[in-house]
Copies of this chain bind each other. A is one copy, B any other.
């Protein structure tokens, strides 16, 4: 039997029970809207084993890289949206997978890219990306560009898609519900305008973990996308989409230095093991680079945080009392809850899966890179 005491550190730990509960929570949120599908975004997990639970029966998924598209197609997931604006040079790879039986839909908000999709000799279809206020990719629902893109895509138009990424700035259920309604209304309006112009709009897709959880109405929507809800992190906990005990992903780390003179210990989880993400800096509470938990995943060290990182060092200090040196001997093991699960997970090629205890019940792979 392998336990968390036997693993090399740092290692990535995923709690199966918490993962399942998070998946059930999102499934229940989506089930409030009959006829609306969940298309989980696999950019966080990047794992077939997670997909088997999050998108059962090889259901529809969302991906963020060509590497994910290939990996999940080889694992049996045909129905994908590659939800990052497409560069024309990537169309050959997508068309090749589609020619092998995949149905990978790209997204587009650019006239030149749309023309490249329309002119490509291989099997392709695309969603027009709509901007409902995030200010990243997409065209406005009321824009001329929306109609022009659809006209260019013509028979290759699969629908419309938006992402209310600005929901991450929300700090209450009410605020997120309001952003969710803006997201819904915007993408539905885009679909209506395209239909009025004579286009068939099969897919009307929206989503972010906060708006998926808090949206009151999904009228006119065919599917919801979300990803980080599977694992959760300190940022999602801060914005209210995750309970503190619902963070499924942690980094197993060892104590590699003790500095009583400055009330600090050093862990072997630094900038690479945790990522340099500082998203909680803008959240109600700043968790530095992560919250230190005990080996069972409980916050029994109080507010003990990774406050500074070097490439392979994480410096830990306690914010709400004295650091418990007796429980942090040389080589002592802890788990660190991350600021941002998507970025922390990306440093690892596998998950060590536990189920509420310290026993490693499975090892799951990940697909990184592009």
Question: Hey, which bits of chain A sit against chain B, CB under 8 A?
Answer: 8-11, 43, 64-66, 84-90, 109-113, 116, 135-137, 165, 254-258, 262, 266, 268, 271-273, 275-278, 310-313, 315, 329-331, 342-343, 346-349, 368-370
Complex Cα distance, B248 from A88, in Å, reads 28
Looking at the complex, which one of B86, B116, B257 makes contact with A109 (CB distance below 8 Å)? B257
Dominant SS among interface residues on chain A = loop
Interchain CB contact under 8 A, A137 and B257: yes
Contact of A135 among B43, B262, B349 (CB under 8 A): B262
Contacts of A368 in B (CB 8 A): 347, 349
A10 to B370, Cβ gap below 8 A? yes
Instruction: For A43, give the chain B residue with the smallest CB separation.
Output: B311
Pick from B135, B330, B369: contact of A113, CB under 8 Å:
B330
Cα A128 to Cα B87 with chains together (Å): 52
**For residue A370, which residues in chain B have a CB less than 8 angstroms away from its CB?**
8-11, 273
Cβ contact within 8 Å between A110 and B277: no
Report the minimal beta-carbon distance from A346 to chain B, rounded to whole angstroms.
Answer: 5
| CB < 8 Å neighbour of A87 from B113, B277, B331 | B331
Contact A330 B257 (CB under 8 A): no
A307 to chain B, nearest CB (A): 12
A-B contact sample (16 more), CB < 8 A, given A87-B254, A87-B255, A347-B368: A10-B370, A43-B311, A64-B311, A84-B312, A85-B266, A89-B331, A109-B257, A110-B257, A110-B330, A111-B330, A135-B262, A136-B310, A271-B343, A275-B275, A276-B278, A347-B369
Counting every copy of the chain, the complex holds: 2
A118 to chain B, nearest CB (A): 13
**B329 close to A268 (CB less than 8 A):** no
Q: Cβ of A348 and Cβ of B330 under 8 Å apart? A: no
Determine if B342 and A369 form an interchain contact, defined as CB atoms under 8 angstroms apart: no
- CB nearest to A137 among chain B residues: B257
Q: Report chain B residues within 8 Å CB of A88.
A: 330-331
- Cα A110 to Cα B349 in complex, Å, equals 31
What are 22 A-to-B residue pairs whose CB atoms are below 8 Å?
A8-B370, A43-B312, A84-B268, A84-B312, A85-B256, A87-B254, A87-B268, A87-B331, A113-B330, A116-B331, A135-B262, A136-B257, A136-B310, A136-B315, A137-B257, A137-B313, A271-B277, A273-B370, A276-B277, A276-B278, A278-B278, A311-B342
**What is the CB-to-nearest-CB distance from A295 to chain B, in angstroms, rounded to a whole number?**
13
Closest Cβ of chain B to A88, distance in Å, is 4
A266: chain B residues within 8 A (beta carbon): 85, 136-137
Say yes or no: B310 contacts A256, CB within 8 Å: no
Contacts of A10 in B (CB 8 A): 370
Chain B hits for A313, CB < 8 A: 84-85, 136-137
When the two chains form their complex, are residues A312 and B64 in contact, meaning their CB atoms are under 8 A apart? yes
Give the CA-CA distance A165 to B84 in the complex, in Å.
Answer: 38
Shortest Cβ distance from residue A7 to the other chain B in the assembled complex, whole angstroms: 9
Which of chain B's residues has its CB closest to A41's CB? B311
Complex CA gap A310/B311 in Å reads 22
CA distance A10 to B67 in the complex (A): 12
| B residues near A272, Cβ cutoff 8 Å | 343, 346
Docked Cα-Cα span, A137 to B262, in Å, equals 11
- A166 CB → nearest B CB, Å: 11
